[in-house]
Amino acid sequence: MDISTNYLGKHFENPFILASAPPTANAEMIKRAFEAGWAGAVIKTLIQEPVKNLQNRFATYKMGKKIIGFENIELLSELTPEEWYKDIQKLKKDFPHKIVVGSIMGDAKNKNQWVEMALGCQDAGVDFLELNFSCPHGYPAKGKGAAIGQDPEYSAMITLWLKEDSRIKVPIIPKMTPAITNISSIGEAVANAGADGICAVNTFPVIMGFNLRTLKPKPDVGGYTTAGGMSGASLKPVALRCVNDLVENPGLPVMACGGISSGFDAVEFMLLGAPVVQVCTEVMLKGYSIISKMKKEVSRFMEWHGYSSIKEFIGLGTGLTTQYSELDQDFKVTPSVDPVKCNGCQVCFVSCRDGGYQAIKMKEHLAVIIEDRCSGCSLCFQVCPQDAIQMVEN
């Protein structure tokens, strides 16, 4: 199967690249990722100021032992721009068929910072340039990061600085923050300023909570914490909504990012129109080798539907989301219980009794639908641990 793809005229051997994050902190790490099979990498964001990271800067949100949310208060690259320019040159020399994306952040009112780093990355050989308009912690208080990405005027102004400079030829891709009411408003602003594409989305600002035994916050930095960026599986639905909105308006090519933990997750973003996806947290939890599994999962999806190339299903899901008022008000479904799979666990019975319409009874240790009470809400289907209930369209 052909799982290669294209984005803004560049060929990707597969749709997976590393996001700008700890897994791309230096060239040696990116080299190992390329050798493992990743199609590309976004370098950890450059900034023209010294960076010193706090210790104990991560926290997790777990369901049982499974990490579904990951918070970080890590800052940008600890390497200088000049160190990165040399590393980019070497990466492109050693891996000419891989995609290397530069990532930069400057002051909102300092044009020279943005232009200098853009030219430095371009001269080093990057394929694209990502503008970090979205870091949610540390920098917004300084008027950088998400403070830019939440302001259409600043987002457009900085994009225009780079697009109007005749020396800058590399495609410009602003990276969006999900922490905004209407992400398309920022998308429109950067599109009108000439952006070539959009990356969506960065992490979402959260407070991860407390250790209830010690009463310490998470993460605990000397007894205090701060809002940090949440990534991981729990971010995926937010990222899907953002990608969907941006594909619809302004319609620039989108590189997806946020909560992608498997090849199947990636396919959902592709169905919305994003031909390339960025991954971070799953690599931090399981290592670069997960790329093999992710590629196999994309191929498995293609086998299910008889696709021979990725381009056959990119964007097939666009148009399947609409306004609530446009949904069919007469659409009806009824739950159907498979007596072979049902083991009488009563999970659906309790959920429907206490959170639904009291439309399930237990008979001879099997769930039975009380049809004249059922409203077709699908709660029973959602909670059934045995996959014994299906919603059947009337």
Name the nearest CA neighbour of 105 among 184, 174, 193. Answer: 174
Contact 8, 128 (CB under 8 A): yes
Rg of the chain on CA atoms, in Å: 23
Nearest Cα neighbor of 67 from 241, 212, 298, 282 is: 282
Q: Are 6 and 275 in contact (CB under 8 A)?
A: yes
Q: Cite the DSSP H helix spans in the chain.
A: 27-36, 81-94, 111-124, 146-149, 152-164, 183-192, 236-248, 263-271, 281-286, 290-305, 347-355, 379-383
User: Cα(29)–Cα(99) distance, rounded to whole angstroms?
Assistant: 15
Q: What's the Cα-to-Cα distance from 88 to each of 119, 279, 351, rounded to whole Å?
A: 13, 20, 55
Q: How many residues does the chain have?
A: 394
Q: How far apart, in Å, do the first and last CA atoms of the chain sit? A: 37
Question: Degrees (nearest 5) of the Cα angle 218, 219, 222?
Answer: 110
Q: Of the residues 121, 135, 199, 257, which is catalytic?
A: 135
- Which residues lie across from 46 on neighbouring strands? 104
204-206 β-sheet, strand order: 58-63, 66-72, 228-231, 204-206
242 is catalytic: no
As given in the structure block, the two tokens for residue 393 are: 């369209």
Q: HSE (CB half, 13 Å, CA atoms) of 356?
A: 25
The encoded tokens of residue 210 equal 């407390």
**What are the contacts of 207-216 at 24+ separation with CB within 8 A?**
208/59, 208/60, 208/61, 208/69, 208/71, 209/59, 209/61
**Residue 28: is it exposed, middle or buried by C-beta count within 10 angstroms (0-12/13-18/19+)?**
exposed
Catalytic residue positions, numbered:
135
